[in-house]
Structure 1
């Protein structure tokens, strides 16, 4: 990635603009990409869904990525759409318009996806500093953490197991309300089962910079990879549930099954962080001419920011309801 950013390909088109990726250059390329997707889909014996990995900070991942998602959704309405979406952070990138790109992407992700695994660059950076003791993390270090998380999440799709779940089963168990399908993944290295269950529920290992203690889990799924006793796994997961029972909503029974995937109202912290960065820029109309030059973006950006705020408020409302019941 570093070589692409510094090489001759960096001038292909403006990489940090959602509008270029979604409405202009991306729209010209999407049909040829869909042809490849269709060929791959036709070669499948039993197509269950699609999995897309993209970043929300740049124009390609946010703009063209969400355009591709919407086009695939139109063609394959009954298939599961699953994304690993990397959320930007000022700690990693110096692109100032990232809050615009993320805000414009949220609406598309809510409407056209079934499962979203939010991976936060800020959390990845903190893990590199605090846990891995790296003084200057590279893109390779960050991508290694992302790949480890993706490997854990997709383990139950790729290998046999006693309690495996496919894409649809995971969505049915994890998504309690249609618009609240933003998951916080977590990962822990190879240790004993008690150590795994303890580390995997630790806020310091979350791949999204949100503290689950500030919200409530609607649902949780833990995916174990390796040789271990089912009895021991069940016992340890029960211990975790009992120890953290105050962080689970009471009106969804048996919401912990046996990498770690949490559907928590604490994800609102991520939305609020992006919203604050967005508001600070949008209030001054900073850099908005880059977007308005391609289309009438003032009203669209404002509308999408209201949509993002509404999602954050809905997450907060469910968290407050859970606190009142507790």
Structure 2
């Protein structure tokens, strides 16, 4: 058994969670009341126990927790112990808990404030368990553009966006739930994507891959495609990580929500990459913060909730240090390339 607990915090976390669990039930052949549907592919398989627990009456209940409160200091502080008690109950119901998926946004009071408080406590109580965050950066323009350009939706709703995000989350978690020729364990995300403790913000890329001829994807073809990318040097790797790729192939084809926007495909591809380009997002965030904080805009709301003004300066310094960390990783790689060029 390799169980994972999903925690959904704030409006963004809750709504993305609804889209994810809607998709999971379809993938595992479960009806809305949690019972296995007749002839479902999961009927003789234990794969769904990663995300679902079975009750005595035969129902399958999601291993998930939804929390929507307000902020870090007042209501959040009162609620966090109750939430952690529910997490403990879910953990006690697992025979081999692998870790947690935490869904929240970087903006807003609950997603950022209570989300940070909860992550802090989870790190204390479950320090050795993996924690994979699905965080929404407060600039969803790219997802809106994908919906307009690729799916032909003139005015995308949150439902359209969340179902698209759910496909990415499903793809990332597929190897935990289904059989495959190259399975990826939850711990391997951390091992292969996080070179240093603070460099831990991978980006997700998702694309449908439709074969011209009928046939399944075999490891040999995947390895050949990756070798081709390496040979062409289309991706610049840091010098201390020359291999660069970790592959996982899942045998289960992507499932779709009935009446959804996406076309049926036999295969999809999801890539997680830890790239220095994310430093530009931190730089934009720093710049926007500086403009607002110089005028002390909205500061009184936070101080009124129990926050001290000095914490803003500390957070700003921490983000500047994070930006510098990513910059140094990039500089090390460039220096190594220049040295190679001299020879």
Query: Which residue is equivalent to 2:206?
Result: 187
Does the CA contact (< 8 Å) of 2:176 and 2:184 recur in 1? yes
TM-score by length of 1: 0.72
Q: Distance in 1 between matches of 2:203 and 2:272?
A: 6
The one of 302, 324, 340 equivalent to 1:313 is 324
Task: Give the corresponding residue for 2:128.
Answer: 78
The whole-number CA distance in structure 2 between the counterparts of 1:39 and 1:305 is 36
| CA deviation after TM superposition for structure 1 residue 277, in Å | 1.3
Match of 2:103 among 30, 39, 53: 53
Query: Deviations along 1:211-255, whole A, 9 cap, x unmatched?
Result: xxxxxxxxxxxxxxx941111111111112223355111221211
**What's the counterpart of residue 233 of structure 1?**
222
Matched, 1:34 2:53: no
Counterpart of 2:97 in 1: which secondary structure?
Answer: coil
| SS at structure 2 position matched to 1:135 | coil
Residues 238-290 of structure 1, C-alpha deviations (whole Å, 9 max, x = no match): 11222335511122121112210000111101111111111111111111111
- Contact 2:99 2:131 (C-alpha < 8 Å) held by counterparts: yes
State yes or no: 1:244 paired with 2:255. Answer: no
1:113 match: none
> How far 1:297 sits from its partner (Å)?
2.9
TM alignment of 1:3-42, pairs within 5 A: 20-42=70-92
How far, CA to CA, are the matches of 2:70 and 2:325 in structure 1? 31
Between 1:162-171 and 1:128-137, the stretch displaced more is 128-137
Indicate how the Cα distance of structure 1 residues 247 and 193 shifts in structure 2: closer, same or farther if over 3 A, else same.
farther
Does the 8 Å contact 1:272/1:312 carry over to 2? yes
Mapping of residues 104-119 of structure 1, within 5 Å = none
Q: Structure 2 CA distance, aligned partners of 1:247 and 1:312?
A: 19
The alignment status of 1:322 with 2:333, answered yes or no, reads yes
Distance across 2 between alignment mates of 1:324 and 1:246: 17
- Structure 2 CA distance, aligned partners of 1:295 and 1:134? 43
**Higher mean Cα deviation, 294-303 or 242-251?**
242-251
Partner of 1:281: 292
Shift of 1:193: 9.2
Larger of the two Rg values belongs to structure:
2
Match of 2:244 in 1: 255
Please tell me whether residue 147 in structure 1 is matched to residue 166 in structure 2: yes
Q: 1:193 to 1:49 in 2, by over 3 A?
A: farther
Looking at structure 1, the residues matched to 101 and 314 of structure 2 have their Cα atoms a distance apart, in angstroms, of 28
The answer for unaligned runs of 5 or more in structure 1 is 6-18, 90-120, 195-225
Shift of 1:56: 1.4
Cα gap change, 1:146 to 1:33, in 2 (>3 Å): same
Match of 1:107 in 2: none
Q: Count the aligned residue pairs.
A: 250
Partner of 2:258: none
CA 246–145 in structure 1, closer or farther in 2 if over 3 Å, else same = closer
Q: What TM-score does the superposition give when structure 2 sets the normalisation length?
A: 0.68
Q: Is the 8 A contact 1:241 1:256 kept in 2?
A: no
Root-mean-square deviation (CA, aligned residues, Å) is 2.4
Gaps of at least 5 residues in structure 2 are: 1-10, 16-68, 248-269, 338-343
- State the alpha-carbon separation in 2 of the partners of residues 128 and 309 from structure 1: 33
Shift of residue 130, structure 1, vs aligned partner: 3.1
- What secondary structure is seen at the aligned counterpart in 2 of 1:173? helix
